[in-house]
């Protein structure tokens, strides 16, 4: 974790010392349209990248899956199974064709269609990402506001240290600590699995600790983000004007400052989601949640390259989607923002 | 005074960043002198002290093979630091030119760079690291490359942004007017001026890289046993969590402290450059 | 206002109802095993512990081991009620029990099913255990409940290959013919439990087979969870989410589980042998001095201390003492690092040597091997190990990747299977008839063959003893120790039998298993 793109969007507004991406002014609409048009080609590029990367495994994925001294026969058999015996472009063609049909291939280990497994695992990962984000926003925004308003006083220092701790903590370590405390010592929560998805209570019960793990880290990020953006806004002219006009401080803060400060926070939901999805990999391993992250790690360890290829494609498709939503929201919500 | 000079002076005045820098320096020093200050050989086993709790003979306790944890944590800093620093250096070496060229040239070159960044940003760092390691196999240098590749687009994006803001400045105009070619301009004028921003983010990315290395080792894709690595130590310690919790505790703390120190530096740097954020 | 209140109340109640735990009065046993997935539920292909655990409750055989006791002399009737053998042991006639029903309405067990199953088990294309049935000549259906099995030559234990282990399981002919390849993950047998669902990498769920011939099983459901992670298994067990858990074969684990209230620890045999095989095709292991040096470098005492006294026992020869034919009258390579260094120098490696190998991440293999790595380092042998998945490991060692192969296994408790699979020339890996002869050894073929057909049990044991002596003398493999099976179970689970020893390698769930909460 550690996506500092979050920070860079704040600075986009100010064009300051750090990062400024303002250069040309375009209208919002053209920008949005351009982004949308580029979705498909970019997704295609992602997919192609994964496809070719998998195939540059030294010796070929079949050899890597079977081991360096595999017999000729078994290699050829697996290659046929994976469709590797055909020329690379033909493979690529059929890969794309299948992809459009929704056929993600068959796992090299279970020989079952991967789309089934992905379909089963996806909700658990999305649950986790959304849960983590909700906790992060719920606690991060108030604490960010508080530390911004009480700048340089005790709450600020405590808040800043805590959030610094939060972003310095590896999520798997935090997960282990939380699991030890809540699930073992206090026996409050389960350690296993994702629970019965169709049953809401079980689902939430199994979601709590993993989501809390990611949520704590998210809170730290959000809090810092909100603090910076509040401080920026509080220094802006229109805030000073509002104060000079004699408006009550409360109104200044909540009506003017906060709303403007929250804009960049809210618009980076997409980035949060991508951080969360990255963090979900280890959290799922620790808590044995049957999600995409866990599937991905197992695919790597089992050398199931077809499964790995498909899971990563789906995963990145989602992340890409969230990034896209971010950029569009950002452009839509604040017309004052300049962008390229 | 040059921008760089102001920068250094205000840095020294900011307490947070100084503390962070000192901590990070300690870390580097420890990593370098680890072989000399470790009380034991980190891979030598002694079953008679299996799972020994922290005590005088073994300050951090001993693991299932009776290996001294303190020595292993000290040696583990070498792996984390090497990966942390080298991978960011790799990403800078690859990403800065990329971002600079895109930002400076504009037009279709810039578009290409942007698309490249977009594509690679679709992969959270750990995922891309996983993918690269799946292809290359485990090993120290391979991890450096894996994380470096994952960080490249992020640094490229940064470099591009900074380049864009510097692009309009007068000295660039002047250089162009004099007739200097693009490459020279980028090297002599753009690069030194964006380097400050990159450095700040660079420290943040070192922190991230350390966490990602620990994550990959934790999964089992790290350095080969018996080489100590903090992530792998946490993983081994996990099995003994209920009977020997110190085995996961200390390596975890080590990761935390290292990452914390780099984050402190970065925070300090940010505060300096942005008066509104300052305490 | 009132409408809002009413609405909120209804909403609240619905949420509460939705969150209420499902009140199940069913009797379920949840077992967690150390594996990431099953390889096959077809009993003629299941070879790993997890496969056995899932297969055993679903199938029966003509005869079975007395639960749970692997003494081959106590084999008793299962699907067969009684049997007769001919004078020379080449023709066996079995009379089947009547009224045995297959799962899910696949009809009654008849001699046709038995013929089909045995032929399937003996066929290389449909079974991984075909080699065990090489001596099988034909199976004839005499009538609906009578079957005659004829062998080409005498084998040490006919009942051994017809018992509830490996190829002896009887499957439904109709189901196999119908399902074809799908049978591997949707099997039909006669056992007390039948498959309800299989979720890849997660669990296998089996439910009661109401028409089980020994009576209605007490449990409603059995869940077999795949949990390769030791800490997850332990936490789930502590939390009560799992009722029976496969443990780590280490003292530390046993000790800490003993402190968990309401826990019974089952440590049972026959245990698995840990043996280090030397691949003699990999230089410099072709030099016997190097092999002997390695043997002297390894401290078995330290290894057993590392694993723990409760879970290990001594292994002197490649065949355990309590197997039929096992002997301890073989030479031993005493732990002697100085001698090891000397031998290495003699062989031309005074500065030590470098070896690389792969090892599975599975703790039963990896942890002893990490100790061995260290012990070898002390005499100058630098062993580089790459950790890979268990599946990948089992594939790669069969492809001559490793100079040293650590193998952990249990086999039918006579000397023949181990000798044949690991030391017979036909079993050499890479050949069409390969099994697990990693060392490429071929010097005791005559002894193995002789023992197989030897009618006098005393002489048979002698020949087996000679074979084992030669294996050690030629430093082909080094026996390290035996690790026993370790399981922890909640005291409210009543297995319904006494856990002594079993070839299923787990505490099997039977029709008599019950929960007493």
A339: confidence class by pLDDT, cuts 50, 70, 90: very low
pLDDT of B210 reads 93
Could you read off the pLDDT of C155-182 as tens digits, one per residue?
A: 777 888 888 888 899 999 999 999 988 8
DSSP category for residue A108: T
User: Which residues on chain A are in Cβ contact (under 8 Å) with B164?
Assistant: 20-23, 340
User: Which residues on chain B are in Cβ contact (under 8 Å) with A166?
Assistant: none
DSSP category for residue C502: -
Helices (H), C130-206: 158-162, 173-179
A67 pLDDT exceeds 70? no
pLDDT of A20 reads 30
In degrees and rounded to multiples of 5, residue C84 shows phi and psi of -130, 145
Q: Which residue did the predictor score with more confidence, A332 or B72?
A: B72
A21 pLDDT exceeds 60? no
C206 pLDDT exceeds 90? yes
The set of residues, in sequence order, having a beta carbon less than 8 Å from that of B276 and lying 6+ positions away, is A231, A232, A234, A235
Inspect the interface and report whether the beta carbons of A70 and C229 lie closer than 8 Å: no
Of the candidates B50, B225, B244, the beta carbon closest to that of C385 is on B225
Inspect the interface and report whether the beta carbons of A49 and B260 lie closer than 8 Å: no
A297 pLDDT exceeds 80? yes
Q: Quote the radius of gyration of chain B (alpha carbons, Å).
A: 22
User: Cα A321 from chain centroid?
Assistant: 10
Could you read off the pLDDT of B10-62 as tens digits, one per residue?
A: 666 667 778 888 888 999 999 999 888 888 888 888 888 888 899 888 999 99
What's this model's pTM, rounded to 2 decimal places? 0.81
Q: Does residue C284 have a cis peptide bond before it, meaning omega lies within 30 degrees of 0?
A: yes
Instruction: Please answer whether residues C490 and C517 qualify as being in contact, where contact means their C-beta atoms are separated by less than 8 angstroms.
Output: no
C405 pLDDT exceeds 90? yes
Residues 229-248 of C with CB under 8 A from A: 229, 232, 235-236, 238-239, 241-242
pLDDT of A269 reads 67
pLDDT of A25 reads 37
Residue B175 tokens read as 């250089």
A212 pLDDT exceeds 80? yes
Q: Which of A15-24, B149-158, C391-400 has the lowest mean pLDDT?
A: A15-24
CA distances for A237 relative to A150, A233, A256, A257, C193, angstroms: 20, 8, 11, 11, 75
- Judged by a CB distance cut-off of 8 A, whether residue B45 touches chain C is yes
A36 pLDDT exceeds 50? yes
Three-state DSSP at C197 gives: strand
Q: Which of A214-218, A237-241, B75-79, C226-230 has the lowest mean pLDDT?
A: A237-241
C481 pLDDT exceeds 90? yes
pLDDT of C130 reads 82
Q: Which of A7-21, A252-266, C100-114, C213-227 has the lowest mean pLDDT?
A: A7-21
A313 pLDDT exceeds 60? yes
C490 pLDDT exceeds 60? yes
Q: Rounded mean pLDDT of B106-121?
A: 83
CA distances for A288 relative to A179, A241, B135, angstroms: 12, 54, 25
User: Which residues on chain A are in Cβ contact (under 8 Å) with B277?
Assistant: 227-228, 231-232
**Min distance A300 CA to chain B CA atoms (Å):** 6
Could you read off the pLDDT of C6-43 as tens digits, one per residue?
A: 777 777 777 666 555 554 578 899 999 988 788 789 99
Strand partners, C269: C501
pLDDT of A38 reads 74
What is the helix (H) or strand (E) element at residue B94, kind and residue range?
A: helix B69-105
C407: confidence class by pLDDT, cuts 50, 70, 90: very high
A303: confidence class by pLDDT, cuts 50, 70, 90: confident
User: Cα B246 from chain centroid?
Assistant: 26
- Judged by a CB distance cut-off of 8 A, whether residue A23 touches chain B is yes
pLDDT of A17 reads 27
- Judged by a CB distance cut-off of 8 A, whether residue C446 touches chain B is no
pLDDT of C436 reads 87
Q: Which residue did the predictor score with more confidence, A13 or C294?
A: C294
- Judged by a CB distance cut-off of 8 A, whether residue C255 touches chain B is yes
Q: Rounded mean pLDDT of A28-47?
A: 73
**Min distance B224 CA to chain C CA atoms (Å):** 6
Instruction: Please answer whether residues C78 and C60 qualify as being in contact, where contact means their C-beta atoms are separated by less than 8 angstroms.
Output: yes
A204 pLDDT exceeds 50? yes
Q: Which of A258-262, C97-101, C251-255 has the lowest mean pLDDT?
A: A258-262
Q: What is d(CA A150, CA A144) in angstroms, rounded to the nearest whole number?
A: 10
Inspect the interface and report whether the beta carbons of B224 and C255 lie closer than 8 Å: no
pLDDT of C57 reads 92
Chosen for mutation from C259, C398, C438 (greatest number of chain A CBs closer than 10 Å) is C398
Could you read off the pLDDT of C363-384 as tens digits, one per residue?
A: 889 999 999 999 999 999 999 8
Inspect the interface and report whether the beta carbons of A66 and C200 lie closer than 8 Å: no
Give the largest Cα separation in chain A, rounded.
85
Could you read off the pLDDT of C340-368 as tens digits, one per residue?
A: 999 999 999 888 899 989 888 888 899 99
User: Which residues on chain A are in Cβ contact (under 8 Å) with B279?
Assistant: 151-152, 156-157
Q: Rounded mean pLDDT of C245-273?
A: 89
- Judged by a CB distance cut-off of 8 A, whether residue C135 touches chain B is no
Q: Which of A128-142, A174-188, B208-222 has the lowest mean pLDDT?
A: A174-188
Q: What is d(CA C206, CA C508) in angstroms, rounded to the nearest whole number?
A: 13
pLDDT of C274 reads 93
DSSP category for residue C186: S
- Judged by a CB distance cut-off of 8 A, whether residue C201 touches chain A is yes
Could you read off the pLDDT of B21-34 as tens digits, one per residue?
A: 888 899 999 999 98
For chain C, give the percent of residues with pLDDT over 70: 97
Q: What residue ranges in chain B does DSSP mark as E strands? A: none
Could you read off the pLDDT of B219-238 as tens digits, one per residue?
A: 888 888 788 999 999 988 88
Q: Rounded mean pLDDT of C489-507?
A: 84
CB pairs under 8 A between A and C: 85
pLDDT of B144 reads 93
B273: confidence class by pLDDT, cuts 50, 70, 90: low
What is the helix (H) or strand (E) element at residue B153, kind and residue range?
A: helix B140-167
Structure ipTM over 0.90, yes or no: no
pLDDT of B12 reads 63
Give chain B's end-to-end CA distance (angstroms, integer): 24
Residue B63 tokens read as 């693991």
**Residue located via tokens 């995409």:** A292
Q: Which of A71-80, C249-258, C271-280, C407-416 has the lowest mean pLDDT?
A: A71-80
């Amino acid at each position: 974790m550690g996506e500092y793109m979050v920070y860079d969007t704040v600075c986009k507004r100010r064009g300051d010392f750090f990062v400024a991406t303002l250069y040309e002014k375009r209208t919002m609409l053209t920008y949005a349209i351009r982004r949308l048009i580029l979705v498909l080609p970019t997704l295609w590029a992602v997919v192609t990248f994964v496809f070719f990367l998998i195939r540059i495994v030294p010796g070929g994925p079949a050899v890597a899956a079977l081991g360096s001294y595999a017999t000729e026969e078994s290699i050829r058999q697996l290659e046929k199974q994976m469709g590797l015996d055909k020329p690379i472009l033909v493979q690529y063609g059929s890969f794309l064709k299948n992809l459009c049909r929704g056929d993600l291939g068959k796992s090299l280990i279970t020989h079952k269609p991967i789309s089934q497994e992905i379909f089963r695992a996806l909700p658990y990962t999305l649950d986790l990402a959304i849960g983590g984000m909700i906790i992060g926003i719920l606690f991060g925004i108030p604490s960010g506001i508080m530390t911004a308003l009480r700048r340089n006083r005790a709450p600020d220092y405590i808040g800043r240290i805590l959030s610094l701790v939060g972003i310095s903590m590896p999520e798997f370590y935090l997960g282990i600590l939380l699991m030890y405390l809540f699930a073992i010592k206090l026996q409050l929560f389960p350690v296993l699995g994702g629970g019965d998805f169709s049953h809401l209570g079980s689902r939430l019960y199994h979601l709590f600790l993993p989501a809390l793990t990611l949520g704590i880290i998210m809170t730290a990020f959000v809090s810092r983000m909100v603090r910076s953006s509040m401080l920026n806004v509080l220094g802006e002219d229109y805030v000073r004007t509002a104060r000079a006009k004699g408006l009550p401080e409360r109104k200044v803060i909540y009506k003017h400052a906060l709303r403007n400060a929250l804009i960049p926070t809210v618009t980076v939901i997409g980035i949060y989601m991508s951080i969360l999805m990255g963090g979900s990999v280890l959290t799922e391993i620790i808590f044995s949640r049957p999600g995409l992250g866990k599937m991905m790690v197992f695919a790597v360890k089992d050398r199931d390259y077809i499964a790995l290829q498909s899971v990563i494609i789906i995963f990145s498709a989602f992340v890409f989607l969230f990034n896209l939503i971010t950029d569009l929201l950002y452009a839509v919500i604040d017309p004052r923002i300049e962008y390229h | 005074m040059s921008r760089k000079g102001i920068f250094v002076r205000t840095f020294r005045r900011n307490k947070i960043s100084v503390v962070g820098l000192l901590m990070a320096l300690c870390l580097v020093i420890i990593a370098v002198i680890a072989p000399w200050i470790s009380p034991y050989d980190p891979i030598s086993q002694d079953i008679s002290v299996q799972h020994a709790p922290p005590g005088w003979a073994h300050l951090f306790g001993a693991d299932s093979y009776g290996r001294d944890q303190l020595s292993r944590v000290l040696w583990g800093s070498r792996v984390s630091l090497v990966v942390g620093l080298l991978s960011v250096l790799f990403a800078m070496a690859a990403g800065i030119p990329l971002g600079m060229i895109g930002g400076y040239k504009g037009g279709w070159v810039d578009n290409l760079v942007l698309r490249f960044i977009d594509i690679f940003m679709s992969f959270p760092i750990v995922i891309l690291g996983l993918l690269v390691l799946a292809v290359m196999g485990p090993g120290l240098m391979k991890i450096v490359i894996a994380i470096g590749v994952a960080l490249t687009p992020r640094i490229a994006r940064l470099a591009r942004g900074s380049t864009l803001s510097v692009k309009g400045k007068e000295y660039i105009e002047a250089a162009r007017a004099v007739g200097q070619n693009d490459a020279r301009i980028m090297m002599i004028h753009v690069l030194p001026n964006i380097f400050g921003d990159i450095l700040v983010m660079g420290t943040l990315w070192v922190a991230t890289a350390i966490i990602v290395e620990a994550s990959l080792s934790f999964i089992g894709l790290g350095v080969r046993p018996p080489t100590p690595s903090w992530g792998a130590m946490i993983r081994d310690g996990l099995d003994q969590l209920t009977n020997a919790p110190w085995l996961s505790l200390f390596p975890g703390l080590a990761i935390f402290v290292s990452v914390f120190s780099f984050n402190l530096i970065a925070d300090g740097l940010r505060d300096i450059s942005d008066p509104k954020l300052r305490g | 206002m009132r409408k809002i209140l009413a609405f909120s109340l209804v909403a609240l109640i619905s949420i509460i109802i939705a969150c209420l735990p499902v009140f199940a009065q069913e009797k379920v046993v949840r077992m967690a095993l150390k594996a990431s997935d099953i390889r096959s539920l077809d009993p003629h292909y299941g070879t790993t512990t997890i496969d056995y655990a899932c297969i055993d409750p679903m199938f029966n055989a003509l005869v079975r081991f007395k639960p749970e006791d692997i003494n081959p002399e106590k084999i008793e009737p299962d699907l067969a009620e009684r049997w007769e053998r001919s004078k020379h042991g080449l023709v066996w006639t079995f009379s089947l029990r009547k009224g045995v029903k297959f799962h899910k309405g696949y009809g009654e067990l008849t001699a046709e099913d038995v013929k089909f199953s045995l032929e399937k088990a003996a066929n290389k294309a449909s079974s991984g255990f075909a080699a065990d049935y090489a001596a099988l000549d034909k199976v004839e259906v005499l009538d609906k409940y009578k079957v005659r099995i004829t062998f080409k030559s005498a084998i040490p234990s006919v009942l051994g290959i017809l018992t509830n282990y490996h190829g002896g399981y009887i499957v439904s002919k109709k189901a196999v013919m119908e399902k074809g390849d799908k049978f591997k993950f949707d099997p039909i047998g006669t056992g007390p439990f039948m498959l309800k669902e299989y979720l890849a990498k997660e669990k296998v769920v089996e439910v009661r087979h109401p028409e089980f011939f020994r009576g209605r099983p007490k449990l409603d459901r059995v869940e077999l969870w795949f949990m390769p992670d030791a800490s997850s298994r332990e936490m789930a067990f502590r939390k009560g989410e799992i009722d029976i858990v496969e443990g780590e074969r280490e003292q530390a684990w046993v000790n800490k589980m003993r402190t968990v209230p309401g826990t019974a620890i089952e440590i049972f045999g026959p245990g698995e042998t840990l043996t280090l095989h030397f691949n003699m095709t990999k230089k410099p292991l072709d030099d016997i001095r190097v092999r002997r040096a390695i043997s002297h470098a390894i401290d078995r005492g330290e290894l057993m201390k590392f694993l723990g006294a409760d879970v290990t026992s001594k292994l002197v020869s490649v065949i355990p003492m309590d197997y039929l034919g096992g002997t301890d009258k073989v030479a031993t390579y005493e732990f002697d690092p100085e001698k090891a260094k000397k031998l290495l120098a003699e062989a031309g490696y005074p500065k030590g040597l470098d070896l690389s190998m792969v090892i599975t991440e599975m703790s039963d293999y990896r942890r002893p091997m990490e100790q061995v790595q260290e012990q070898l380092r002390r005499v100058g042998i630098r062993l580089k190990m790459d950790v890979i998945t268990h599946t990948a490991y089992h594939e790669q060692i069969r492809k001559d990747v490793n100079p040293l192969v650590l193998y952990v296994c249990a086999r039918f408790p006579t000397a023949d299977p181990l000798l044949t699979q690991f030391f017979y020339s036909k079993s050499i890996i890479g050949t069409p008839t390969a099994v697990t002869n990693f060392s490429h050894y071929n010097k005791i073929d005559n002894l193995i063959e002789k023992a197989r057909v030897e009618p006098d049990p005393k002489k048979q044991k002698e020949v087996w003893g000679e074979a084992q002596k030669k294996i050690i003398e030629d430093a082909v493999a080094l026996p390290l120790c035996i690790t026993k099976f370790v399981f922890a179970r909640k005291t409210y689970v009543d297995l319904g039998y006494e856990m002594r020893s079993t070839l299923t390698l787990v505490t099997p769930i039977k029709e008599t298993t019950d929960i007493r909460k």
